[in-house]
A and B are shown apart, each in its own frame.
Chain A
Amino acid sequence: MNNYKTLDAHDREFLVSLLGEERVFTGEAISDDFSHDELGGISKLPEALVNVLTTDEVSKIMRYAYDNNIPVVARGSGTGLVGASVPIFGGIMLNMSGMNKILELDEENLTLTLEPGVLLMEISKYVEDHDLFYPPDPGEKSATIGGNINTNAGGMRAVKYGVTRDYIRGLEIVLPNGSVINVGGKVVKNSSGYSIKDLICGSEGTLGIVTKATLKLIPLPKKAISLLIPFPDLDKAISTVPKIIKSKSVPTAIEFMQREVILAAEEFLGKKFPDNSSDAYLLLTFDGNSIEELEKDYEKVANICLEEGALDAFIIDTDERKEAVWSARGAFLEAVKASTTDMDECDVVVPRNKVAEFIKYTHLLQEEFEVRIRSFGHAGDGNLHVYVLKDNLSDEAWPKKLAEVFDAMYRKSQELHGLVSGEHGIGYAKKQYMFDQYEPEFVELMKNIKLAFDPKNILNPGKVCE
């Protein structure tokens, strides 16, 4: 099955004839950056790295790779966290980041058509200048939209607005044999056969290569207010979240954070957070079109929180206040990273009313395994980011300890009817945890889908269900 062809001079010649010398890199000319993503522990350089600029180029390379049995991996910004874009079988890597043009803003259909290499931060700026809004809001703003589509990236606003998949109207896809298909379109409704676009979304580059995407936009909400709600302890904070959700007021984001992470961020940024006197906080954001509407929403939620034992509810209503709070929130991950020698992240998603139970469980694990575990982030959508920190553990002890803690966490998630990944994907690193959870029939079905798209298994082999 894995009898792939090793690239030779002839293959290089083909790539150069198609793209020119300046866009084809082999051997030592390939930067080490392309051997890994942001996950430590797995790296491999491709045999050839090519900068593609058009669908036609992608199609011709795929056709060639198909005919010659060469593995191909498409890569965006390389900001993935599960090794999905690491070319573990070598072969050709398509660097999609040069396909970065915004092609059309259709204000009559509220869609944005663009190439896969456009960065998330460019999308939000572009559409917001037109009073429009692309709601998915993953933390990594330098990720490409192609990468976001391929992981079905989520982000903080998922509570109210959903995830990337909810905002894909249509895709142009190059299939592993080089043929180009269009799925979906600018249409709002679509009951026309299997929804291939929804299958491609979240497929982590294993089924086809997205070369163009049409995204759904909505009108930009004009106002936003956040509340920072201090609680005496994390348990009280997180236990309040299901009550907020039950109240039917819909914050765009519900985040939780603990004092120790806030202090780490203060030290990391060298500036003070507006409040660090409490053990635990919820950070909620509301958006809408008038201050009156927002006040009604946030007062209802603030009252619920006070009834549930919150110490107060601080109002974040101006640019300066938002900056003071969100700059710290944005630095949490880096601050935690800076506090230790190495770390790994578990991205499980559990039903929203089980978040408190899961977090409490990680506290138990901390004691049981004598390892530092930190978590913060989404409380409103059940997607947790739990960081296990290496600290003083030796390089030999670390992987063993990590595996034990991760096993325990994924078992707990399964027990709570959660799933392995909320938004980072399965890629290479989380495959075994997914296999452990799904029935063999489910995995078999995924393998057959992969086979239908990619009979020679040349597109990003060894990932997700393999």
Chain B
Amino acid sequence: MEILVCIKQVPGTSKIDVDPITGVLKRDGVDSKMNPYDLFALETALRLKEQHGGTIKVISMGPPQAKDVIREAYMMGVDEGALVSDRKFAGADVLATSYTISQGVRQLGSFDLILCGKQTTDGDTAQVGPEMAEYLGIPHIANVLNIIEVNDTSILVEMDMANTIEVAEINFPCLLTVEKDIFQPRLPSYKRKLSTKDREIKIISFKDFEDQNEHRYGLAGSPTQVERIFPPSANTDRETWTGTPEELSSQIVNKLRQFKFV
């Protein structure tokens, strides 16, 4: 099975300050990491390969330092990786990003299965996966909770529909975005770090694309206008209760009912 996993480099922590005036993220001195949701997609791919054979490639889009997440994917067992990188791609919204990556995917060959994390921790839109599939003209399922069965021409999965779980069969080639915790991601291996340190990372830039219309990429290709970026307000509400164990336990039960946790 030929599998492609889409991965993204995101800030290493959620505690990033936003400049209150310009709305720009203060990324200086902040470490980066692979989008945690992508680790679940990678683990899914690695397990499918273990069972069904084939190769796994990863693709990422970002500045040159995003090579680090491809190296990390190598350390987890991925065979090949490519980075879609060009100044012309800067400022892309979800639409331009999806289109750009779909152009990159076409340069990497054909795949039976494309896997994405369900969303990123910095953008949180959960749109890039499905939009890419639309541009590639392949079927897709988002929020996959579980893989039930893999056949020669199709894959049977459980998808999370918020209030229900639906089982669907989807033909290859297709794209799936997988839920957190579909599998516990493996850790990067130091042994693989040593054995893959010289492995090539293919760079794909604008000039490699089939579609040379610059207006489809970067800021020019982005209909979304960001008005303002601001940190979400943190809820620090707290209540302190005192009383006998009996009083307190019924108080907790009432509170949990009120929040509909039970």
Contacts and interface: CB of A to CB of B under 8 A. Distances in A.
Contacts of B12: 318-319
Contacts of B31: 223, 291
Interface in B28-85: 31, 33-34, 36, 39, 75
A166 B34 CA distance: 39
Give the interface centre of B12, B187, B188, B191 by most chain A CB atoms within 10 Å: B187
A310 B33 CA distance: 26
Contacts of B193: 315
Given A291-B31, A315-B75, A321 B187 contact: yes
B249 interface: no
Contacts of A67: none
Given A319-B13, A320-B36, A314 B184 contact: no
A271 B184 contact: yes
A131 interface: no
Contacts, number: 51
B191 A306 contact: yes
B43 to A, nearest CB: 10
Nearest to B189: A312
A232 to B, nearest CB: 15
Give the interface centre of B31, B181, B183 by most chain A CB atoms within 10 Å: B31
Give the interface centre of A271, A302, A315 by most chain B CB atoms within 10 Å: A315
A320 B39 contact: yes
A312 B184 contact: no
A155 B118 CA distance: 39
Interface in B191-228: 191, 193
B190 interface: yes
Nearest to B34: A318
Nearest to B188: A315
Interface size class of B (residues with CB under 8 A): 10 to 19
Interface residues of A, number: 24
A336 interface: no
Contact of A315 (B39, B181, B187): B187
A320 to B, nearest CB: 5
Given A318-B33, A319-B13, A320-B36, A302 B190 contact: yes
Chain A interface helix/strand/loop/mixed = mixed
Interface in B11-34: 12-13, 31, 33-34
Nearest to A315: B188
A275 interface: yes
B186 interface: yes
A350 interface: no
B187 A228 contact: yes
A316 B189 CA distance: 10
Given A291-B31, A313-B191, A318-B12, A274 B36 contact: no
A273 interface: yes
Interface string A293-321: 00000010010001000001111111111
A100 B187 CA distance: 40
A84 interface: no
A447 interface: no
Contacts of A315: 75, 187-190, 193
Contact of A274 (B33, B34, B187): B187
B64 to A, nearest CB: 17
A324 interface: yes
B36 A313 contact: no
28 contacts: A228-B187, A271-B181, A271-B184, A272-B183, A273-B184, A274-B186, A291-B31, A302-B190, A312-B191, A313-B189, A313-B190, A313-B191, A314-B186, A314-B189, A314-B190, A315-B187, A315-B188, A315-B189, A315-B190, A315-B193, A316-B187, A318-B12, A318-B36, A319-B12, A319-B13, A320-B36, A324-B185, A325-B187
Which 4 residue pairs of A and B lie closest in terms of their CB atoms, listed nearest first?
A: A314-B187, A272-B184, A313-B190, A302-B190
